[in-house]
Structure 1
Amino acid sequence: MFCAIMHLLHCPCKKGDSVDVRILPSAMNTNMRMFVGCERDALIQLRDVVNSTYNLHANWTGPPCNNKNQSRPNSSFDQQSLIAFNVSNNKLEGPIPRTPVLQRFPKSSYDNNSDLCGEIPGLSPCAISVPPPVPGIAPAPSVFPSRKEDHGVLKSWSIALVAAGAAAVLVFVILMFLCYCTSVCREKTKKQQEQTGEIDIERRGKRSQWSGSTDHDTERSLELEFLDRPTFDLDELLRAAAQVIGRGKLGTTYKAMLECGSVVAVKRLEEMNTLSKKEFVQQMRLLGNIKHENLAEIISFYHSREEKLIVSEYVPDGSLFSLLHENRGIRLEWKTRVSIIKDVAEGVELLHQCLASHQRVPHGNLKSSNVLIQRANHNHVRVRVKLTDYGLLPLVPVHKLSVRKTPEFVEGKKVTRKADVYCFGILVLEILTGKVPRSGRGEHRDLSGWVRAAVDNEWSTDILDVEILGEKEGYDEMLKLTEIGLECTNVLPERRPTMTQVLSRIQDINNITSDQYH
């Protein structure tokens, strides 16, 4: 009977022996009708235990039920007549059946077992069992990364982005520093050049050949082309110490001191019209053949793809603009001013005669900065004027020249030789008033408009430069020159006089002025 009960209870026969007991026998009652041939003392003990509220945790004796593989009767553990139940202090394991009857018993009824679990308060809940995978078939990998993997990927990308950003910032800082250093070096070099005045004219393309032309002169090696007998070559010119003496819209002008002792002026043209070398050579030869004491002589020229140079006579004493507006410490008396006006008129009138059939505006760039001064002594009583930058209209854009200030050009009309007459009139008024000409639209925006408004049909000495205001004996000639200046700056080109007419009237004024100073 003991062994039969153990088979039904799924418990060990001895205390300490492990069996898998999950159900209670339904055949157990107070009369203990089922008997198995076991030891008598064990039956007596079992009877006493069962009769005392089925206290099964007492010390069992007798041989254990070691056959764990034998079948066990299945019980529902849902007998309402079960009023006491205690399987503590055994080596039971597995889940406790989820029945209302077993849920009534406290945790103490299940204490001190190997691995019991269930919904009894105080016991560990049972883990959800997952069926084992089919042998030989590996689980399919997840398409989406796990949260841990996702966190690792995000962390790696964050580190990469931070590193890339830091590298970009470092590169940007380095580039800004290099740009700053380059700018500082350039500014320093520029200041040094302006202070010392010395630069190097870089030689480019001297031995290159021109193609696309059948002219024999353009097929030979590029060299300086002289209008008269050569006195130096391109190598000597490029080795010369050069000093900047002027910067303008056409380019930069240098004073070049040659090894042979000669001094020449070199203008580097920076912007030119689209024209062939043949056209450039023809224009320079045309200008170089004009000889006059009031024109700075063109000595030679150089033309290549990279450089266009004009080498001319060097005039040492600066420009009329500098004399009128920048060097006010040296007085420029009336007689000298009249002489300057006469020399300018003679130079412009000669250009109009020589270039009448070649270009519509013979000079094209007449202004005080292009009137060079060559004095005989330091008080400017005796001076000689030489014009420069003349005859360049076919070579350079018209908006780079002084004729752009004429009313006809401002209005979009065609410019003619009367544009030179207008520029000459502005120059005369500049010499008389000592004021810098201004350009722009409107009658009162330029110098001629200001003089017209000041005179108001009645000449006044209020317009005169203070340096000549005290020379009252010359007032009549000053009035006559003022009238010439206003006539030359008439808004309508056809109402302006010709340079021949202007020169004749100025020569008369100069003769009168010369007689007054003898």
Structure 2
Amino acid sequence: MLQLLPVFLLLLLEQASLISGLNQDGLYLYEWKQSLDDPDSSLSSWNNRDATPCNWAGVTCGPSNTTVTALDLSNFNLSGPFSASLLCRLPNLTSIILFNNSINQTLPLQISLCTPLLHLDLSQNLLTGFLPHTLPLLPNLLHLDLTGNNFSGPIPPSFATFPNLQTLSLVYNLLDDVVSPSLFNITTLKTLNLSFNPFLPSPIPHSLGNLTNLETLWLSGCNLVGPIPESLGNLVNLRVLDFSFNNLYGPIPSSLTRLTALTQIEFYNNSLSAEFPKGMSNLTSLRLIDVSMNHLSGTIPDELCRLPLESLNLYENRFTGELPPSIADSPNLYELRLFGNKLAGKLPENLGKNAPLKWLDVSTNRFSGGIPESLCEHGELEELLMLENEFSGEIPASLGGCRRLSRVRLGTNRLSGEVPAGMWGLPHVYLLELGNNSFSGPIARTIAGARNLSLLILSKNNFSGVIPDEIGWLENLQEFSGADNNFNGSLPGSIVNLGQLGTLDLHNNELSGELPKGIQSWKKLNDLNLANNEIGGKIPDEIGILSVLNFLDLSNNEISGNVPLGLQNLKLNLLNLSYNRLSGRLPPLLAKDMYRASFMGNPGLCGDFKGLCDGKGDDDNSKGFVWILRAIFIVASLVFVVGVVWFYFRYRNFKNAGRSVDKSKWTLMSFHKLGFSEDEILNCLDEDNVIGSGSSGKVYKVVLTSGESVAVKKIWGGVKKEIDSGDVEKGHQFRQDSSFDAEVETLGKIRHKNIVKLWCCCTTRDSKLLVYEYMPNGSLGDLLHSNKGGLLDWPTRYKIAVDAAEGLSYLHHDCVPSIVHRDVKSNNILLDGDFGARVADFGVAKVVDATGKGTKSMSVIAGSCGYIAPEYAYTLRVNEKSDIYSFGVVILELVTGRRPIDPEFGEKDLVMWACNTLDQKGVDHVIDSRLDSCFKEEICKVLNIGLMCTSPLPINRPAMRRVVKMLQEVGTENQTKPAKKDGKLSPYYYDDGSDHGSVA
């Protein structure tokens, strides 16, 4: 009977075709549409009124304009199954492209029935299960792309039998067996990409040499171990080779010299430990070389630099010696990154003369001599990074005309002389760092042209003269650091126009005059340091409304007048007004011993602690005023005592009335074996036991008669209640019963050590209670961001990260069906007595069920500010990648100690702040200063994992199972080798390899 079902279905479709007028191909497609969820109405043109589907969106037909030859439904936001039983009935279908949808369930074995297929692209969907072993039965298939799904298990051995396959991409799945040697028998392959799968440790098979037609080989993050096989040299057509993010060791094989077509090599972040092989000059077609972030040593071969290179990346190795002058003769060189080595000598004087150089980074070496004048000969230079070397002499005048420069870092060298006037006004430069040199002269007025400038760092030089009024025209300026120079005159009045300014540091100069009027426009100012100048006048009253001001140092100046009353309302980490000419009485909240040092050296200043204003203000009038205050205080105290007594009796009656509730009406549903009854819970639900209050209700701590404690969440009464300010979309309201049902539905079935345990629930018609295990250390967010955050040392934070990751991995990969939490944040990670972490609060969790209902667009954003993945915020699509982004933010919180949203960040969030700070200031400015530096190397690795999880592109985020493995590997490595106190973070990059920027 089942065998007759397809025939019966076919007959029904043919009959329906006669009725609707739609031809057979269109009827199959229309039937498939009925099984899909289409929230954006992308398939609105697919109707049964047309004669053929050839005018439908995403459909291409053959010359006869009747039969379908190709489907391209990329970015249609569709969810539902891949129906091979329908699609494979299209007799002329040669191409199926469903890129970036939510096609789910498994890829059926019947896919082999699509025999005409040449191109199958199902990348960035939600397919699960094993790879179909029937795929190689497609005789004509040339291109197969299954990137960014959730396929698991091994790669089927049958894949070795593809007859004509040219492209195979399985990037970012959950394939967890070894890299199958059988793949290297597909001799027709031109592109093979297996990157970023959690494969078991395995060597690169020697059978790699069978792929003689291969042009592109990407095996990044495949857990490869051992040496690179000599058989690599058989791949004579290879152009791109990427073995990054593995554990390879040994030398680069000499057979590599036979790869005359190779244009790009990437071996970074391995454990290669040899010098460059001899015979590199044989690689006459080589254009791009990237062997960065290894342990390569020795000198850079002159033969290598004589190749017609376009890109040379040797950063973060151990190279010594000089850079061969022959590198300057390459006619197409546009990228040269050598930072983080021990190279010395001078840069070739003709560097940039013969090639359109765009990116030059030689930071953190031992180069000396002058900056070559020809660097911007072709006018293409965009990044010039030379900090932390021994360069000397002046900046060449030619760089002042390099109009495309956007990033200039020349700090910590021995450069001198005046900066070329044109360089001050470069129109695209956003970072100009000249600090810690011996530059002299003024800031040129041409700086008015640098309208894109965000960071101006001039500290520790010999700059002099007046700060020009044009500095106030730089509306994007966020930091102006010019400390330890010889600037004089007054601050320009226009400086108050810098509405984006976050740091103004001009201490140790010769500035005079008064603070400018209108500083209330500095709404983003975090650090104001004008110490050790000759500034006079008064402190503007407006300083008290700079709400994000954190550091204020005006010490050792000539400032007079009163301390503004509003200053006491600021939450300052540093306040120093010492050694000025301030007078009058201090604001009450500042007149404390903790601020004594902040006001020393001001003879006319009066305060309530010893050392300020002694003996002043004791006349008869002041004494009478004191007696009036005392009388008012006595009367107020009497009123307060009477009020407390009255409130006590009222509260006692209310409490007794609350306990008289009819307990017989409560219904208890248990999920574990209980050692208590509902009576024990109900008797303790009074205000004395409240330990928290959130968007869905109050939380009580209940101590049972057994001595153990439980946490009880009482869902707010009524049907609706506004969510609190910590959640997104404050104007929306959520049904509390749905939150309750979600918690019960989810936690009632889950059993995992890193998911909070739900003991039971109690319900009546009007009230609902959830009884959880009690977590003595509260939430991670409350503890980390309080004054007790310093108690969380790095080993504890690392343990919390691993525990929480394992809990989320269980939800995503081990629950059937999978569960998406949708509100992962530090406040929803609870800590037990040993700081073990539990994921909690499943009030907005969604099940990713077999019908795809868990992946469709939601009507309201669930989550909290700073944790929401970019794509979720504008598509409302729910999937595991959203949780992974949120968990990445939690990792950044653990590493930085900062909140996800902070006024200091301005319009940025923690992710953007961390990326920008890494790029502009280095890793030391990102890591929480409370953490012991001996763990720096391990912290940096975890930070990299957090950055991977918060990638803007969902496809670049690793699955939670992979995140757990990476975190565990960090701990394993730490146990097998001593931590380095001076460990460095690997250069920050995006996973697609698009940016290999220096940390410097």
In 2, the alpha carbon distance for the partners of 1:265 and 1:201 equals: 19
**Structure of higher CA gyration radius:** 1
Amino acid at match of 1:384: G
Query: What displacement does 1:511 show?
Result: 1.9
In 1, the alpha carbon distance for the partners of 2:690 and 2:874 equals: 36
Q: 1:313 matched to which residue of 2?
A: 773
In 2, the alpha carbon distance for the partners of 1:448 and 1:332 equals: 21
Query: What displacement does 1:233 show?
Result: 2.4
Contact 2:760 2:770 in 1 (8 A): yes
Amino acid at match of 1:411: Y
Correspondent of 1:500 among 955, 958, 961: 961
Q: 1:225 matched to which residue of 2?
A: 669
> What secondary structure, in the 3-state scheme, does the structure 1 residue paired with 2:771 have?
strand
The normalised TM-score by structure 1 is 0.51
Amino acid at match of 1:454: T
Correspondent of 1:436 among 896, 899, 924: 899
Query: What displacement does 1:262 show?
Result: 3.0
Mapping for residues 235-274 of structure 1, pairs under 5 Å: 235-240=679-684, 242=686, 243-270=689-716, 271=720
Correspondent of 1:477 among 911, 932, 938: 938
Amino acid at match of 2:752: H
Query: What displacement does 1:400 show?
Result: 5.6
After superposition, the Cα gap between the structure-2 partners of 1:203 and 1:507, relative to the gap in structure 1 and judged at 3 Å, is: farther
Q: 1:339 matched to which residue of 2?
A: 799
In 2, the alpha carbon distance for the partners of 1:486 and 1:500 equals: 16
After superposition, the Cα gap between the structure-2 partners of 1:200 and 1:460, relative to the gap in structure 1 and judged at 3 Å, is: farther
Query: What displacement does 1:314 show?
Result: 0.4
Higher relative contact order (CA 8 A, sep 6+): 1
1:453 and 2:916 correspond: yes
Query: What displacement does 1:392 show?
Result: 4.0
Mapping for residues 13-412 of structure 1, pairs under 5 Å: 207=664, 222-240=666-684, 242=686, 243-270=689-716, 271=720, 284=744, 286-328=746-788, 330-355=790-815, 357=817, 359=819, 361=820, 363-376=821-834, 383-390=835-842, 392-393=844-845, 399=861, 401-402=863-864, 405-412=868-875
Q: 1:71-110: CA deviations, max 9, x gaps?
A: xxxxxxxxxxxxxxxxxxxxxxxxxxxxxxxxxxxxxxxx
Higher helix share: 1
Percent identical among aligned pairs is 31
Q: Which runs of 5+ in 1 are unaligned?
A: 1-183, 209-221, 377-382
Number of residue pairs the alignment of both structures matches:
305
Q: 1:268-316: CA deviations, max 9, x gaps?
A: 2335865989x96686254223222222211001233322221110011
Contact 1:226 1:299 in 2 (8 A): yes
After superposition, the Cα gap between the structure-2 partners of 1:286 and 1:370, relative to the gap in structure 1 and judged at 3 Å, is: closer
> What secondary structure, in the 3-state scheme, does the structure 1 residue paired with 2:710 have?
strand
After superposition, the Cα gap between the structure-2 partners of 1:329 and 1:415, relative to the gap in structure 1 and judged at 3 Å, is: closer
Contact 2:914 2:926 in 1 (8 A): yes
Q: 1:369-419: CA deviations, max 9, x gaps?
A: 22222244xxxxxx3222221364359996563387332332143121111
CA root-mean-square deviation: 4.0
After superposition, the Cα gap between the structure-2 partners of 1:455 and 1:312, relative to the gap in structure 1 and judged at 3 Å, is: same
Query: What displacement does 1:323 show?
Result: 2.5
Contact 2:690 2:699 in 1 (8 A): yes
Contact 1:241 1:258 in 2 (8 A): no
Q: 1:172-221: CA deviations, max 9, x gaps?
A: xxxxxxxxxxxx999x979x99xxxx99977867555xxxxxxxxxxxxx
After superposition, the Cα gap between the structure-2 partners of 1:425 and 1:241, relative to the gap in structure 1 and judged at 3 Å, is: same
Contact 2:659 2:683 in 1 (8 A): no
After superposition, the Cα gap between the structure-2 partners of 1:342 and 1:304, relative to the gap in structure 1 and judged at 3 Å, is: same
> What secondary structure, in the 3-state scheme, does the structure 1 residue paired with 2:699 have?
strand
After superposition, the Cα gap between the structure-2 partners of 1:457 and 1:284, relative to the gap in structure 1 and judged at 3 Å, is: same
In 2, the alpha carbon distance for the partners of 1:200 and 1:436 equals: 42
In 1, the alpha carbon distance for the partners of 2:791 and 2:846 equals: 38
Q: 1:327-355: CA deviations, max 9, x gaps?
A: 33743222222111111111111121344
Q: 1:49 matched to which residue of 2?
A: none
In 2, the alpha carbon distance for the partners of 1:416 and 1:283 equals: 18
In 1, the alpha carbon distance for the partners of 2:760 and 2:860 equals: 24
> What secondary structure, in the 3-state scheme, does the structure 2 residue paired with 1:299 have?
strand
Correspondent of 1:415 among 870, 878, 903: 878
Amino acid at match of 1:390: F
After superposition, the Cα gap between the structure-2 partners of 1:413 and 1:280, relative to the gap in structure 1 and judged at 3 Å, is: closer
In 1, the alpha carbon distance for the partners of 2:664 and 2:755 equals: 32
In 1, the alpha carbon distance for the partners of 2:792 and 2:962 equals: 26
In 1, the alpha carbon distance for the partners of 2:929 and 2:944 equals: 19
After superposition, the Cα gap between the structure-2 partners of 1:507 and 1:232, relative to the gap in structure 1 and judged at 3 Å, is: same
> What secondary structure, in the 3-state scheme, does the structure 1 residue paired with 2:837 have?
strand
After superposition, the Cα gap between the structure-2 partners of 1:515 and 1:325, relative to the gap in structure 1 and judged at 3 Å, is: farther
Q: 2:260 matched to which residue of 1?
A: none
Q: 1:55 matched to which residue of 2?
A: none
In 2, the alpha carbon distance for the partners of 1:189 and 1:316 equals: 31
Q: Which runs of 5+ in 2 are unaligned?
A: 1-641, 722-733, 848-857, 980-1000
> What secondary structure, in the 3-state scheme, does the structure 1 residue paired with 2:690 have?
strand
Q: 1:510 matched to which residue of 2?
A: 971
Contact 1:454 1:463 in 2 (8 A): yes
Contact 2:783 2:789 in 1 (8 A): no
Q: 1:116-172: CA deviations, max 9, x gaps?
A: xxxxxxxxxxxxxxxxxxxxxxxxxxxxxxxxxxxxxxxxxxxxxxxxxxxxxxxxx
1:466 and 2:929 correspond: yes
The normalised TM-score by structure 2 is 0.28
